[in-house]
């Protein structure tokens, strides 16, 4: 009897996973379809454009490693958004937190001199601390002053942007003409995983470790349980003695640390310094990454690869199909729009299943 109950439960869980996957695939296909119409409406050939996008992302072995590399920052910002989301906090400030993390890594990497075994971990930790510090302000403003997290995190994005710009052009401008910081020490650079010309560094492994860590935090600790409880139903959580505000506060701090790590890996892994305006929306890309994965850490690996592929293929799409790189923003927006049809799809699936049972 008990065994039977277990099996039905598993089947239910499997059905639920299948449905979630179906919703994501439908949203992706619908977005690509409408995206094709947009490309066509602006006078380009959609098949050519998507072909170039694919070719640019997966066409060669080197291109594939670039795609993997581009997936790293969005995987981390995706995790950042997902952790906060699980606790009902909408962190759209990952962009600013990433910038501050990158800045901290660039400074510690260039101005602290230590052997690699200490320098590299210190640089990475500094980026996480800076990202966390940047999310601390919105978090404390929410907790103490009831200021909307959406508005304050966005404002701190702009403040971070100007602050980093000031630091790059002013006190920490590196040698040479270009607006950039000094190159970080070799002891602070992430080692490559593959020989040249492939471009893949240890950052990819760190990102996977962050995925595992986030999973453990959310699903295997009591703190994670509390956070998810707040996200599912804040009133129920409160009645059961969970400190809702404290959990939201912590979720935002963890989210900031993950976004900061994304910046730190960009600097220690590929850029080795900060150039002005380097981030190009990695923070905002974390939102579709998290949403497509339904905030599941392991699913984020795949959705991040998808967005990473779009980012790495977009240049070729622009050069050979003549449609602007910005097209991938349109596609991401459309993906989110169609993901929002989740309730509609669930409604019809459930009603059909229900109808069958009655018949």
Partner 1 sequence: MLNTISYLLSATLRMGTPIAYTALGGMTSERSGVNNIGLEGIMTASAFGAVVGSYLFQNAWMGILFAILIGVAISAVHSLVCITWGGTQGVSSMALVLLSTGISGVGLKALFNQQGNSPEVPSLPATTPLQGIPVVGDFLSKQSPFVYLLLLCLLATWFLFRHTRLGLRLITVGENPRAAETAGLSVHKLRYFGVLYSGVMGGLGGAMLSIGSMNMFQEGMVAGRGYLALGAVTMGRWNTWGVFGSAMFFGFFSALQLYLQSIQVPIPTEFIQMIPYLATVVVLAATADKGSAGIAGAGKPYTKYVRQR
Residue (48 or 329) nearer to partner 1, CB = 329
By CB under 8 A, residue 245 contacts partner 1:
no
Residue 128 or 339: the one with the smaller Cβ distance to partner 1 is 339
**Which listed residue (152, 270, 272, 303) binds partner 1 by CB under 8 A?**
152
In terms of Cα–Cα distance, which of 211, 255, 212, 213 is closest to 231? 255
**Binding of partner 1 by 347 (CB under 8 A):** yes
- What's the CA gap between 172 and 110, in Å, rounded? 10
Q: Which listed residue (17, 60, 148, 178) binds partner 1 by CB under 8 A?
A: 148
- Residue ranges in 185-244 that form contacts with partner 1 under rule CB under 8 A: none
**Residue 233, token pair as written in the block:** 């139903």
CA distance 166 to 158: 12
Supply the minimum distance, in Å, between the C-beta of residue 330 and partner 1: 3
Name the token pair of 196: 């040249």
Is 323 an interacting residue with respect to partner 1 (CB under 8 A)? yes
Rounded to whole angstroms, the Cα distance separating 269 from 285 reads: 19
337 binds partner 1 (CB under 8 A): yes
Q: How many CB atoms lie within 10 A of CB 180?
A: 21
Q: How far is the CB of 52 from partner 1 (least distance, A)?
A: 15
Number of residues that bind partner 1 (CB under 8 A): 55
Q: At what angle do helices 244-265 and 222-232 cross, to 10 degrees?
A: 110
Decide if residue 44 touches partner 1 (CB under 8 A): yes
Q: Please pick, from the candidates 47, 116, 118, 151, the single residue that binds partner 1 as defined by CB under 8 A.
A: 151
Least CB distance to partner 1 at residue 332 (A): 5
Angle made by CA atoms 183, 188, 193, in degrees to the nearest 5: 105
Residues 283-302 that bind partner 1 (CB under 8 A): 284, 287-288, 291
Query: Using the rule CB under 8 A, which residue among 156, 172, 249, 282 binds partner 1?
Result: 156
Instruction: Please state the closest distance from residue 338 (CB atom) to partner 1, in A.
Output: 9
Q: Does 141 bind partner 1 (CB under 8 A)?
A: yes
Show the binding pattern over residues 75-94: x = contacts partner 1 (CB under 8 A), - = does not. Answer: ---------------x-x--
Quote the least distance from Cβ 331 to partner 1, whole Å.
Answer: 8
From the CB of 357, what's the least distance to partner 1, in Å?
19
Name the minimum Å distance from CB 263 to partner 1.
Answer: 18
Q: Which is nearer to partner 1, 214 or 318 (CB)?
A: 318
C-alpha–C-alpha distance, residues 87 and 237, integer Å? 11
Rounded-to-5 percentages of helix, strand, coil across the chain: 80, 0, 20
Contact (CB, 8 A) for 259 and 283: yes
Which listed range, 97-105, 110-118, 241-249, 315-323, lies at the site for partner 1 (CB under 8 A)? 315-323
Phi-psi domain of 274 (left: phi exceeds 0; alpha: psi -120 through 50; beta: other): beta
Show Cβ contacts of residue 287 under 8 Å, excluding neighbours closer than 6 positions: 81, 92, 336
Q: With respect to partner 1, which residue has the nearer C-beta, 67 or 91?
A: 91
Q: Which of 12, 25, 42, 223 binds partner 1 (CB under 8 A)?
A: 42
Select from 79, 261, 310, 328 the one that contacts partner 1 (CB under 8 A). 328
Distance CA 122, CA 89 (A): 29
Whether 151 and 89 have beta carbons less than 8 Å apart is answered as no
Closest CA relative to residue 98, chosen from 305, 277, 247: 277
DSSP notation for 101-121 = HHHHHHHHHHH----HHHHHH
Query: Which residues are near partner 1 by CB under 8 A?
Result: 38, 42-44, 90, 92, 137, 141, 145-148, 150-152, 154-159, 162-163, 165-166, 169-170, 284, 287-288, 291, 318, 322-334, 336-337, 339-344, 346-347
């Amino acid at each position: 009897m008990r065994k039977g109950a277990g099996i039905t439960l598993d089947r239910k869980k499997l059905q639920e996973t299948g449905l979630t996957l179906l919703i994501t695939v439908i949203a992706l296909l619908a977005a690509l379809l409408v995206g094709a119409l947009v490309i066509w409406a602006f006078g380009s050939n959609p098949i050519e454009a998507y072909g170039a996008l694919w070719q640019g992302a997966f066409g060669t072995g080197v291109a594939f490693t670039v795609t993997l590399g581009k997936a790293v920052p969005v995987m981390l910002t995706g995790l950042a958004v997902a952790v906060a989301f699980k606790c009902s906090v909408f962190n759209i400030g990952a962009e600013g937190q990433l910038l501050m993390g990158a800045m901290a890594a660039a400074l510690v990497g260039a101005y602290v001199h230590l052997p690699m075994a200490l320098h590299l971990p210190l640089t990475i930790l500094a980026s996480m601390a800076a990202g966390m510090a940047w999310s601390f302000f919105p978090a404390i403003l929410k907790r103490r002053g009831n200021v909307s997290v959406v508005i304050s995190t966005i404002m701190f994005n702009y403040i971070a942007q100007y602050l980093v710009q000031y630091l790059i052009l002013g006190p920490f401008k590196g040698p040479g003409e270009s607006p950039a910081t000094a190159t970080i020490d070799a002891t602070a650079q992430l080692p490559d995983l593959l020989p040249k010309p492939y471009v893949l560094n240890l950052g990819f492994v760190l990102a996977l470790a962050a995925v595992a860590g986030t999973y453990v935090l959310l699903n295997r600790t009591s703190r994670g349980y509390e956070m998810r409880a707040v996200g599912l139903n804040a009133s129920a959580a409160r009645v059961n003695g969970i400190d809702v505000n404290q959990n939201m506060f912590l979720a935002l701090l963890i989210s900031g640390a993950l976004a900061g790590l994304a910046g730190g890996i960009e600097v220690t892994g590929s850029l080795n310094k900060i150039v002005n305006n380097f981030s190009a929306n990695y923070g905002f890309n974390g939102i579709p990454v998290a949403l497509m994965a339904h905030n599941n850490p392991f699913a984020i690996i795949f959705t991040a690869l998808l967005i990473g592929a779009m980012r790495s293929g977009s240049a070729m799409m622009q050069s050979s199909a003549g449609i602007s790189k910005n097209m991938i923003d349109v596609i991401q927006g459309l993906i989110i729009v169609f993901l929002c049809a989740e309730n509609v799809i669930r409604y019809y699936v459930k009603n059909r299943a229900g109808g069958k049972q009655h018949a």
